[in-house]
Structure 1
Amino acid sequence: MKIIYMGTPDFAVFPLQKLFEENNNIPLVVSQEDKPKGRGKKLLPTPVKEKALELGLEVFQPKDINSEESIKKIRDIQPDFIVVAAYGQILKEEILSIPKYGCINIHASLLPRYRGAAPINWVIINGESETGITIMKMGKGLDTGDILLKESIPITEEDDSITIHDKLSNLGGNLIVKALKGVKEGYINPVEQDHSKANYAPMIYKKMGRIDWSKSGEEIVNFIRGLKPWPFAYTFYNDLNIKIHKARVTDKFKDGVNGQIVKVTEEGVFVNTKDSCVVIEELQFPGKRKMLVSEFIKGNNLEVGIVLE
């Protein structure tokens, strides 16, 4: 099969690797432009570009995938499939119509649930018990295309957005191989989504990470789990912005106002919420590395009675 692959972040790396290992012909990998990162603002390749070059594949990084140059380049290849995994640009109908068997998307949710940009984060934040991968044919709407394959995985209490990201990337790589083979050989047929069951997973923004201590303990812990590895949930302790990396819920202590520190031990920092206590187990003060609370309190003081904001 002749496949043009479009992807940008880490999530899209394993599916590319898997398609390559299956001896598919991948004449072109399309990724977003390199962006400056770090203090030196050095241009760094996208994770997909890095992997593609490692595999010896040609990489194309257009500013606009829908430009005449891009469309001509894609049309000249005459691909059987275009496979898209978190590429980052919307493809117009002119591109969608080019591949012999269509454009196929690897989406990190169980469609029609959690259409949009950040499904992995929102399934955690919303306390869902499962998520999965949907392989779908791309159409004009946002993640509204017909479904080819779908497979679920459980979300455990130990999972966060990082672990679910990695599990879904691996699952996506395995499912896309099955889907392309099934479509080409004619034994997998597209099924229309039940659009009445759709909801959306909007983009995550840095400012949304502030913890609302008036919510339930479970909601707050899910919020913390869902905002890793960026932008992280945060709160203010004496006007210092503190990132919260890990926390759990306990009902041992519930005394005082929401957000108040009621106890500090090696177990963690016990903070009041609407219905319970959240125990902060790992945190990060400005300019410092992340630390377990048991390690942090050996050389620092966290004052009981302070209200986190």
Structure 2
Amino acid sequence: MKIVFMGTPDFAVPALEMLIEQGHQISLVITQPDKPRGRGKKESVSPVKAAAQMHHLAIAQPERLRKNKEILELLKDIAPDLIVVVAFGQILPATILKIPTLGCVNIHGSLLPKYRGAAPIQWALINGETTTGVTIMYMDKGLDTGDMLYKKEISITPDDTAGTMFDKLKNLGALALKEALPLIENGGAQREKQNNSFSSSAPKIEKEMGKLNFNMSATEIENLIRGMSPSPSAYIEYKGEKIKVHAAKEAPEFAATEDAGTILNVDKQGILVKTAKGLLLITEIQVPNKKRMLVSEYIKGNQIELGYKL
């Protein structure tokens, strides 16, 4: 098939690599513009652009697709059979959706119609799901509302974070697309409309969401930490300092009359904190301008005050 690929982050790279390995003609790769990153604000390319360059593919990096006549004409000239979109970062306008003869398909990181939106992987963890997966879907003008074609499911383990699930689902997504390609080439007769009554949203994750509220239960806080890890990360405010929390787990409960948020104990196991329901053991942190580390390492040269209320 003649394919135009649209994607930006590392999550999209396995799908692009798979299409190349399968011998499809990748006529164009569209990715987000280069952005300044790091302390030096050096321009850096997206993982998808880096992969496309390695394979000597044609690349376009428009600021916007909507009302972009140059991109529209380029796509019309290419006349692709299929447009594949994976975590591209922009909504495709209707003018582009109409171009490929076999449609535009997307790899979405959830089992639709649950978790439509920008952050399905994070929200599945935050909400304590035990299974998730990927959906190969046809794109329409809505946000992740198009017809579903193919799904693959995977378990979420208690140790999984958003980071580990990204790695699992990017590979699962490439496999799902590979298995769905024959269905797409045959016209997608198996496509199924989404049941909107079962839909849920997964909006963009904001940094402010990571502030831990100990009036929640230990289970809810642990799930939030997992969903925010490794970035932008959950955090606590301790004596005016923002400390990132990268790992924590619910601890065996014992009678404690202190208020929620009180530090009950600090040892090599971690920082034990009272919550509204249950106890939370914080095991891995990152103080400003330092690398992430186990609490057992941090307390070798630093003190954390018992009885302090977070």
Q: TM-score, normalised by structure 1?
A: 0.97
Residue 170 of structure 2: aligned partner: 169
Kindly indicate whether the alpha-carbon contact (under 8 Å) linking 1:183 and 1:189 is maintained by their aligned counterparts in 2. Answer: no
Following superposition, the deviation at residue 215 of structure 1 comes to 0.3
**Does 1:24 find its partner at 2:19?**
no
Deviations 1:44-70 (A, max 9, x none): 001110111112211110112230000
Following superposition, the deviation at residue 187 of structure 1 comes to 6.7
Residue 214 of structure 1: aligned partner: 215
Describe how 1:193-272 pairs up with structure 2 within 5 A: 193-255=194-256, 256-272=258-274
Amino acid at match of 1:137: Y
Residue 105 of structure 1: aligned partner: 106
Give me the whole-angstrom Cα distance separating, in 2, the residues matched to 1:6 and 1:147. Answer: 19
- SS of 2:158's partner is coil
Unaligned runs of 5+ in 1: none
Residue 11 of structure 2: aligned partner: 11
Residue 279 of structure 1: aligned partner: 281
- SS of 2:172's partner is helix
Residue 152 of structure 1: aligned partner: 153
- SS of 2:272's partner is strand
Give me the whole-angstrom Cα distance separating, in 1, the residues matched to 2:88 and 2:188. Answer: 27
Deviations 1:66-85 (A, max 9, x none): 30000011111110100000
- SS of 1:134's partner is strand
Give me the whole-angstrom Cα distance separating, in 1, the residues matched to 2:102 and 2:285. Answer: 49
Residue 57 of structure 1: aligned partner: 57
Give me the whole-angstrom Cα distance separating, in 2, the residues matched to 1:97 and 1:55. Answer: 28
Following superposition, the deviation at residue 302 of structure 1 comes to 1.1
Give me the whole-angstrom Cα distance separating, in 1, the residues matched to 2:280 and 2:189. Answer: 47
Amino acid at match of 2:40: G
Deviations 1:213-267 (A, max 9, x none): 1100000000000001211000111111100010000133452111111011111
- SS of 2:77's partner is helix
Give me the whole-angstrom Cα distance separating, in 1, the residues matched to 2:194 and 2:270. Answer: 45
Following superposition, the deviation at residue 189 of structure 1 comes to 2.2
Give me the whole-angstrom Cα distance separating, in 2, the residues matched to 1:127 and 1:144. Answer: 23
- SS of 1:203's partner is coil
Give me the whole-angstrom Cα distance separating, in 2, the residues matched to 1:140 and 1:28. Answer: 22
Amino acid at match of 1:234: Y
**Matched residue count:** 308
Give me the whole-angstrom Cα distance separating, in 2, the residues matched to 1:247 and 1:253. Answer: 18
% identical aligned pairs:
48
Aligned-pair Cα RMSD in Å: 1.1
Change (3 A) 1:210 1:293: same
Give me the whole-angstrom Cα distance separating, in 2, the residues matched to 1:273 and 1:251. Answer: 12
Give me the whole-angstrom Cα distance separating, in 2, the residues matched to 1:178 and 1:241. Answer: 45
Q: TM-score, normalised by structure 2?
A: 0.97
Give me the whole-angstrom Cα distance separating, in 1, the residues matched to 2:75 and 2:207. Answer: 35
Amino acid at match of 1:142: L
Amino acid at match of 2:302: N
- SS of 1:199's partner is coil
Residue 141 of structure 1: aligned partner: 142
Give me the whole-angstrom Cα distance separating, in 2, the residues matched to 1:188 and 1:17. Answer: 26
Following superposition, the deviation at residue 209 of structure 1 comes to 1.0
Unaligned runs of 5+ in 2: none
Kindly indicate whether the alpha-carbon contact (under 8 Å) linking 2:102 and 2:187 is maintained by their aligned counterparts in 1. Answer: no
Segment of structure 1 superposing worse, 56-65 or 127-136: 56-65
Amino acid at match of 1:85: V
Give me the whole-angstrom Cα distance separating, in 1, the residues matched to 2:188 and 2:244. Answer: 49
Deviations 1:155-176 (A, max 9, x none): 1101010111111100110111
Residue 291 of structure 1: aligned partner: 293
Kindly indicate whether the alpha-carbon contact (under 8 Å) linking 1:225 and 1:246 is maintained by their aligned counterparts in 2. Answer: yes
- SS of 1:65's partner is coil
- SS of 2:225's partner is helix
Give me the whole-angstrom Cα distance separating, in 1, the residues matched to 2:136 and 2:173. Answer: 8
- SS of 1:84's partner is strand
Kindly indicate whether the alpha-carbon contact (under 8 Å) linking 1:134 and 1:147 is maintained by their aligned counterparts in 2. Answer: yes
Kindly indicate whether the alpha-carbon contact (under 8 Å) linking 1:29 and 1:59 is maintained by their aligned counterparts in 2. Answer: yes
Amino acid at match of 1:19: L
